[in-house]
Amino acid sequence: MSERYRCDTNKLLQHVSSIACCFVLLCGSTALAQQGSAGRPAPSVIVAAVAEREIDPPVENIGRVEALEAIDLRARVPGFVEKIGFAPGAFVKKGDVLFIIEPARYEAAVAAAKAQLARAEASRQQALITRDRNADLVSRSATARSALDDAQAALNVAEADVAGAQASLSKADLDLSYTRIAAPISGRIGQPLFTTGNLVGTDSGPIARLVQVDPIRVVFSVPEGDVVTYRQTQSLQKSPRRLTLTLPNGAAYDQEGKIEFVGPEIDPRTGTATVGVIFPNPDGVLMPGQFVKLAVGSQQVATGPAVAQSAVLQDRDGRFVYVLTSDNKVQQRRIETGAKLGDFWAVSSGLKAGEKIVIQGTQRLTDGIAVQPVEQQP
């Protein structure tokens, strides 16, 4: 092989080697561009926009419905039930006659008492005349003083008889009034426990139950730390609360309540106090004994940014999140959190609604690192 041929071959090999080196360098620079600052591929993370949420949500409590007034009706005089003036479960008004207990015997007693009173008043009138006559005779010395004393004593006895007869008449009138059992309050009445023709008396026990249903009370317990808040809501109208109900079937009740009372002491066994709330109940939807959900919230709904708890990290300096920048890098940002809203934190400072933050894949992140963002699926 000639010397010239060897030189041309060497030059060709060097030229090919230079091209190969350039190719390797080009590929290496491209790979480096796709790697993070630590020489690894940019991590894939899931990002989501910061949502605007209600940051002061209602606090739910389990409440029990109870009547403001509930009365067991009883017979106050013995007798047979002559009439029942209501249908079971009906709504009755105050003063409606519910039962009539045979009034005839008590009407007769009233008539007898009136006759006794008339007789006593006649005797008193006669005794008064006798006393006056003897007083005149004594003044003219026509009779002994003792006769006047006897006449005065007889008048006193007659007046006492009149008072006794008046008392008997009053009792007879009262007993007669007890034969008509009227509703002492307006409310809904249950089933009569005695039917027409049954003998009832003071020892018969309740004969029906009457329950006031409009308005009605819902009671629930609050921790001792919240008692002051409820007392302020009750007495000071600076921060009124909105009190709403969810019925046992899951439906929302269409009336709002008002705090009636806050218990005067804390139960040492449970560390809670009782709060009573009054609700209008015109349709009788709420029934004593029911358990309902009572939500206590603000009159004005407050909203603000909220972030998923999985997105919030914490170190010795406080809480922070990773915010996605426009060039697909993450920036560590300190935040102040407020109330816990289920799986979210309310954010009082540090973030705005609409900003995108990393919610999954935060373990390998550092401030300023490039990432491959993937939008969270709805």
Provide the CATH number for the domain around residue 125. Answer: 2.40.50.100
Residue 207 and residue 320: Cα distance in Å, rounded?
Answer: 69
> Do 206 and 217 reside in the same domain of the chain?
no
Place of tokens 């060097």: 14
> Do 84 and 186 reside in the same domain of the chain?
yes
pLDDT, tens digit (0-9, with 9 covering 90-100), for 243-292: 899 999 999 999 999 888 888 889 899 899 999 999 999 988 999 999 99
DSSP string, 12-64: HHHHHHHHHHHHHHHHHHHHHHTB-TTSSBPPEEEEEEPEEEESSPPEEEEEE
Work out whether strand 336-341 and strand 303-308 pair parallel, antiparallel, or are unpaired.
Answer: unpaired
Residue 212 and residue 189: Cα distance in Å, rounded?
Answer: 9
Question: Under a CB-based contact definition with an 8 Å cutoff, are residues 277 and 256 in contact?
Answer: no
97: Cα separation from own chain's centroid: 34
Whether 37 maps to a domain, the answer reads no
pLDDT value, residue 148: 86
Domain limit, last residue, from 274, 298, 322 = 298
Buried b / exposed e over 61-85, threshold 16 CB at 10 Å, is bebebbbbeebebebebbbebeebb
Give mean pLDDT, residues 329-352. Answer: 85
> Do 91 and 204 reside in the same domain of the chain?
yes
DSSP state of 186: -
Residue 281, domain extent:
61-68+212-298
Question: Under a CB-based contact definition with an 8 Å cutoff, are residues 311 and 344 in contact?
Answer: no
Whether 27 maps to a domain, the answer reads no
Give 78-82's long-range contacts (Cβ < 8 A, gap of 24+).
78/199, 78/200, 78/201, 78/202, 79/105, 79/106, 79/179, 79/199, 79/200, 79/201, 80/197, 80/198, 80/199, 80/200, 81/194, 81/195, 81/196, 81/197, 81/198, 81/199, 81/200, 81/207, 82/196
Whether 347 maps to a domain, the answer reads yes
Question: What is the sign, positive or negative, of the torsion defined by CA atoms of 190, 191, 193, 197?
Answer: positive
Whether 242 maps to a domain, the answer reads yes
Q: For residue 371, what is the domain's CATH number? A: 2.40.420.20
> Do 104 and 167 reside in the same domain of the chain?
yes
Whether 6 maps to a domain, the answer reads no
Whether 218 maps to a domain, the answer reads yes
Q: How many CB atoms lie within 10 A of CB 366?
A: 11
> Do 122 and 191 reside in the same domain of the chain?
yes
Q: For residue 237, what is the domain's CATH number? A: 2.40.30.170
Domain count, the chain: 3
> Do 83 and 205 reside in the same domain of the chain?
yes
pLDDT value, residue 122: 95
pLDDT, tens digit (0-9, with 9 covering 90-100), for 58-115: 778 899 999 999 999 999 999 999 999 999 999 999 999 999 999 999 999 999 999 9
Question: Under a CB-based contact definition with an 8 Å cutoff, are residues 329 and 45 in contact?
Answer: no
> Do 106 and 167 reside in the same domain of the chain?
yes
Q: How confident is the model at residue 374 (pLDDT cuts 50, 70, 90)?
A: confident
Whether 350 maps to a domain, the answer reads yes
> Do 178 and 232 reside in the same domain of the chain?
no
Amino acid symbol at 185: I
**What residues pair up with 277 in beta bridges, in sequence order?**
218, 259
Domain limit, last residue, from 269, 298, 327 = 298
Domain limit, last residue, from 253, 279, 298 = 298
pLDDT value, residue 299: 58
Q: How confident is the model at residue 36 (pLDDT cuts 50, 70, 90)?
A: very low
> Do 216 and 206 reside in the same domain of the chain?
no
Whether 10 maps to a domain, the answer reads no
> Do 245 and 205 reside in the same domain of the chain?
no
pLDDT above 50: residue 28: no
> Do 243 and 353 reside in the same domain of the chain?
no
> Do 217 and 137 reside in the same domain of the chain?
no
pLDDT, tens digit (0-9, with 9 covering 90-100), for 221-234: 988 877 877 776 65
* Residue 56 or 41, more confident: 41
**Among the listed residues 337, 268, 275, the one whose alpha carbon sits nearest the alpha carbon of residue 306:** 337
The contacts of residue 250 (CB under 8 Å, 6+ apart) are none
**What is the torsion angle, in degrees rounded to the nearest 10, for the CA atoms of residue 250, residue 256, residue 260 and residue 265?**
40
